[in-house]
Amino acid sequence: MANPHGSFIWYELMSGDPDASKKFYDDVVGWKIGAKPPGDMDYRMISAPDGDVGGVLRLTEEMRKHGAHPVWLGYFGVDDVDKTVAKITAAGGKVLMPAWDVPNVGRIAMVTDPQGIPFYVMRGASDGTSTAFGRMKMGHISWNELMTPDQDAALAFYGAMFGITKSGSMPMGDLGDYTFLQHAGIGIGAMMTHPPGGKPGGWGFYFRVPDIEVAKDKIGKGGGSITQGPMEVPGGEMVLNAVDPQGAAFGLVAPGKER
């Protein structure tokens, strides 16, 4: 794996209906999600115009019985999965799925941070570089946003595990600070305090599209719903938050309006 330890290298949608998810996201984001591969495992590649950025995993009834639900999750690339999992548990995180090997793909584990927020850690089988995260690349994941009940604890944890650091903040009134995050000298996203009594916190992801208004219309026509926006954010980009027809939350980001 050529990416630095702690990089976001992959993104995964857990979906109860991959065919419906393909139709929705292919239209809204401009992806090409693959067909079901041969065999029992239903895992489909998500392709942007210039390469794969993630996958769609079919949720089985057995997975649902153990609490799985439609959701987007991120993968942190690490130098050693087992050593990283040991560090995570020592820091108060938990193991949801112990490390396992996927032939020709890599070694993977599913864990949580000390606040219970899930994610994967992975060591890829090849020395290739992941470009799934691309701040300004169309069709790629452009922004990673953490909703956490404790920003200080989260920063300490993700800093110790993955080398993620603070790169400034922006006050948001009663919501507290919007804290910008960087990794290996690159801005990768931000975190904000999860309000009490709302939906569970977690990592959220924004996909880059050419036009926020066009994408908004496609979300509605495709059976999704807008939860916030579109709105302009500092720097001039346009963003929105939405839920897909299966119930998975996601965000979109697009170039701002010409002035």
Question: Residue 24 CA to chain centroid, in angstroms?
Answer: 17
- Give the rounded percent of residues in the chain with a pLDDT score beyond 70: 97
Identify the band that residue 117 occupies on the pLDDT scale cut at 50, 70 and 90.
very high
The CA-CA-CA angle for residues 120, 122, 127, to 5°, reads 150
User: Is the pLDDT at 58 greater than 80, yes or no?
Assistant: yes
In the chain, the domains with their CATH numbers are 7-124 (3.10.180.10), 141-254 (3.10.180.10)
Identify the band that residue 254 occupies on the pLDDT scale cut at 50, 70 and 90.
very high
Mean per-residue pLDDT, 28-48: 93
Cβ neighbours around 191 below 10 Å, total: 24
| Residues 180, 165: Cα–Cα separation, whole Å | 8
- The pLDDT value recorded for residue 258 is 64
User: Is the pLDDT at 176 greater than 60, yes or no?
Assistant: yes
- The pLDDT value recorded for residue 142 is 98
The CA-CA-CA angle for residues 102, 78, 56, to 5°, reads 45
Q: Which two structure tokens, joined as six digits, stand for 94?
A: 């938990």
- The pLDDT value recorded for residue 174 is 80
Single-letter amino acid, residue 134: G
Burial readout 146-167 (b: 16 or more C-beta within 10 A, e: otherwise): bbbeebeebbebbeebbebeee
Q: Measured between alpha carbons, how far apart are the two ends of the chain, in Å?
A: 42
Identify the band that residue 197 occupies on the pLDDT scale cut at 50, 70 and 90.
low
Q: Note if the pTM is more than 0.85.
A: yes
User: Is the pLDDT at 195 greater than 80, yes or no?
Assistant: no
User: Is the pLDDT at 50 greater than 60, yes or no?
Assistant: yes
Inter-residue contact 1 to 105 (CB < 8 Å): no
The three state secondary structure string of 153-196 is HHHHHHHHHHCCEEEEEEECHHHCEEEEEEECCEEEEEEEECCC
* Mean residue pLDDT across the chain: 94
SS3 call for 136 = coil
Cβ neighbours around 181 below 10 Å, total: 23
- The pLDDT value recorded for residue 68 is 86
SS3 call for 204 = strand
- The pLDDT value recorded for residue 198 is 60
| Residues 111, 88: Cα–Cα separation, whole Å | 8
User: Is the pLDDT at 238 greater than 60, yes or no?
Assistant: yes
User: Is the pLDDT at 5 greater than 70, yes or no?
Assistant: yes
User: Is the pLDDT at 111 greater than 70, yes or no?
Assistant: yes
User: Is the pLDDT at 71 greater than 80, yes or no?
Assistant: yes
The CA-CA-CA angle for residues 94, 89, 9, to 5°, reads 75
